[in-house]
A and B are shown apart, each in its own frame.
Chain A
Amino acid sequence: MEKLLEEFSLGLFVWQSLAFVILLFLLKKYAWKPILDAVNEREQGIRSALESAEKAKRDLENLQSDNEKLLKEAHIERDAMLKEARDMKNKMIEEAKEEARTEASKLMQQAQQAIITEKQTAIADLKSQVALLSIDIAQKVLQAELSNDNKQELYVESLLKDAKIN
């Protein structure tokens, strides 16, 4: 202990304390503060960069899932549209067929009607023609039959005979 005290140099102590305190303040101002600030800033930068990268990744994932959803929806919609179109086509064909069928039957009916009418007209015509012809023939027969007076009287007689007064 005595040796230590003897070794102790006041001058050295004063110089050391002075130099160290000055160094401390100089370094604090010109070195440690800027260094620690820069390091902190850099660490903050790295942290925020990592965070934004993470966020970008998440966004991208969201976007991808959105895309997938959209694609799926589009698929469903397309399928629906295709189905609808197919249905419509079938329906149209069906309808057309139906219409054609009814039209045809209607035409048939009309034709039958027309045929019947024509037939009746033809029959009526034929009847009148036959009547006229019969009358003509009868006239001619009568003319020939009744060309002399004898025959006329005979005929009138026969008629009168038939025509009994009731």
Chain B
Amino acid sequence: MYRVNKYSVLLALFLGFTSSLSASTDAPQGDKKAEIKAYIAHHLLDSYDFSLTSYTDDQGQHHYIGFPLPVILWDDGLKIFSSSKFHHGESVAEVGGNYYAIDHNKIYKTDAEGTIKYDDQNHATNIKPLDFSLTKSVFMILVTCTLMFFLFRGLARSYGSNKGIAQGAGRFFEPIVLYIRDEIAIPNIGEKHYRRYMSYLLTIFFFIWFLNIFGLTPFGVNVTGNIAITFSLALLTFLITNFTGNKNYWKHIFWMPGVPVPMKIILAPIELLGVFIKPFSLLIRLYANMQAGHIVLMSLIGLMFIFKSWLGSTLSFGLAFAISLIEVLVALLQAYIFTMLSALYFGFAVEEHHDEAH
């Protein structure tokens, strides 16, 4: 039953992608490649509205199916308006006498015509207002947060109402919670300190996992493949590691025990650099994995429309199917790795002093 459900989800995924790509199948071959490339690049970026699909009608008019999201700007006062004013980046939005336009997925302040000036490196030189818009990614984050809150509160409540035995979806998630406790937190952090970090580890694992999985749906929200998101997550791990670090942890960084003094001096800057490299590797790993997964998967799907022959398209379909299966695994694996490494760093931070030299 579960298996069938999984495949039907995957199938829906393909139908979703393919339907949004089949926007203009009668365009010339060269245009098609460029279009697919642009589509992938566009998909990987955040967006100001939640579009499910788009199509071109007989008059060559582009139609979008989806819903707009609120744009929140700080530009001499708070400006809140619907992203529908931009008409998917095609027009200039006028708010309280100011004009804004979207260029390369960023909002710039412009004149009434929406002119955007570029410098010699092709960077827009217009003023960029502080942008706190509820973008597609933010929307998905909020959806995920809400989902997680109700899901796990439900699990917590089911214990009370069912004499300590999980009910419903909790039966699926409880072993995962226990796995994180018994296989990730306790072995890496130790029996004594692991409790302090459990909430963070559980939250980050499910948060990344759910967002990764949502990234595989036809809505194609590439949230965990966004550098701002992974930076925020890695920053939290960094802060928690260093704020909970004990004396032993700092001693290992600045004055490594068990090595001669010259080595201590050489090791100190390396170790200090390591403090920053560790979370940085978390940031890049998650970002690059999710980004690459999306690019590969979408390129393979795009190939189906370029080949346009039953053999080539079938082959790329098979390949895309295999890759998306792998992506389901990668979604879980990346969440696991992020959690595992965070736990490992926390373990370093609270490691008790022991006499055995390193």
Contacts and interface: CB of A to CB of B under 8 A. Distances in A.
A19 B145 contact: yes
Given A8-B227, A10-B130, A19-B141, A24 B199 contact: yes
Given A19-B145, A27-B149, A30-B156, A8 B231 contact: yes
A33 interface: yes
Contacts of A4: 227
B131 A10 contact: yes
Nearest to B146: A23
B226 interface: yes
Given A23-B149, A39-B174, A45-B164, A31 B236 contact: no
Nearest to B159: A38
B199 A33 contact: yes
Count chain B CB atoms within 10 A of each CB in A13, A20, A35, A36 and give the residue with the most.
A35
Interface in A127-146: none
Interface stretch (B200-208, B270-278, B347-355): B200-208
B134 interface: yes
Most chain A Cβ neighbours within 10 Å, of B134, B199, B200, B231? B199
B324 interface: no
B131 A11 contact: yes
A7 B104 CA distance: 10
Contact of A31 (B132, B155, B226, B231): B155
A39 B185 CA distance: 15
B148 A39 contact: no
Contacts of B181: 36, 39
Given A15-B141, A38-B156, A9 B207 contact: no
Most buried by B among A10, A21, A26, A27: A27
B142 interface: yes
Interface residues of A, number: 33
Contact of A17 (B130, B131, B177, B235): B235
A26 B153 CA distance: 9
Given A20-B233, A38-B164, A13 B228 contact: yes
B100 to A, nearest CB: 14
B203 A27 contact: yes
Contacts of B236: 17, 20-21
Given A12-B228, A16-B232, A39 B177 contact: yes
Contacts, number: 124
A28 to B, nearest CB: 4
B153 A30 contact: yes
A32 B141 contact: no
Contacts of A11: 72, 130-133, 135, 138
A12 B203 contact: no
A78 interface: no
A35 B180 CA distance: 13
A42 interface: yes
A157 interface: no
Nearest to B199: A28
20 contacts: A8-B227, A11-B132, A12-B226, A12-B228, A12-B229, A20-B232, A23-B207, A24-B203, A26-B149, A27-B148, A27-B149, A32-B156, A32-B199, A32-B202, A35-B156, A36-B177, A36-B181, A36-B198, A38-B164, A39-B159
Interface of A: 4, 7-17, 19-24, 26-28, 30-36, 38-39, 41-42, 45
Interface of B: 45-46, 72, 130-135, 137-138, 141-142, 145, 148-149, 152-153, 155-157, 159-160, 164-165, 174, 177-178, 181, 195, 198-200, 202-203, 207, 226-229, 231-233, 235-236
